[in-house]
Amino acid sequence: MREIVVPGERIGVVEEYVGAEGIFEIKGVLYSSHLGLLEKKDLEVNVKPIKRPILPVKPGEIALGEIRSADRSSFNLFLTLLLRPRVSILIPPVHANMPKRGSNIGARPSDIVIVRVESVENGIVTVTMEGAHELGVIRSICESCGSVLDRGVGYTLICRRCGKIYLDKRLSSKYGWNPFKEGLLNVRGGKENPGPFDRKI
């Protein structure tokens, strides 16, 4: 079965299909990464790009992103802002993968992170938090009560509401920084498309 799908189009759920090439998952729902042909064979689904996308990010660039979901081997992110060497809002957000390895392991969905683009190959963007001190989590939410976590000593995060302590995240040297609020950019998400710092938990 073949049909044309667009980036971000809902394909199905993980209970129905196994996503392979050109597919990403958020909270158990499979979406298309490309404009392309949807191929379904048994339980496997693929999206073959009609034309390889020209993505607005390059290896080595530093970006702001939100972790939206995770699977066994990687995190799925939406990159919303390029920070260095150029500043640019990414509209629409760029989907990226972050392998679960090294400094990346302690992250979890809903974290706002500063990452480095490792590679852009065949329409797939791979990022990492490994490297410079600015890379890492800059905003995190308590799993128990939904409050924004405060930074303690070193890499410690503390929930002032329920007292829970987190020790396993790689924190950016800029933890707590909000580029939208502090004037780097004066663009915010609207009500229908809130930015990562505007979204209510």
**Domain total in the chain:** 2
Domain check: are 149 and 95 in the same one?
Answer: yes
- 159 annotated to bind ligand: yes
The pLDDT score that the predictor gives to residue 18 is: 86
pLDDT in tens, 81-95: 999 898 888 888 899
The domain that contains 28 carries what CATH number?
2.40.50.100
Q: Residue 197's closest CA among 187, 38, 129? A: 187
Same domain, yes or no: 157 and 183: yes
- Which tens digit of pLDDT belongs to each residue from 43-59? 888 888 776 556 789 99
pLDDT at residue 88 in the model? 86
Does 142 belong to an annotated binding site? yes
Instruction: Note whether 117 and 141 are same-domain residues.
Output: yes
Task: Say whether both 66 and 40 belong to one domain.
Answer: no
Nearest to 130 by CA among 108, 104, 106: 104
Does the annotation flag 145 for ligand binding?
A: yes
- Range of the structural domain that residue 165 is part of: 54-201
Q: Is the pTM of this model over 0.85?
A: no
One domain, residues 168 and 189: yes
Residues 63 and 12 in one domain: no
Co-location of 140 and 163 in the same domain = yes
Alpha-carbon gap, residue 160 to 148, rounded angstroms: 9
Q: Could you read off the pLDDT of 118-174 as tens digits, one per residue?
A: 999 877 899 999 999 999 999 999 999 999 999 998 889 999 999 999 998 999 999
Q: Are residues 98 and 192 in the same domain?
A: yes
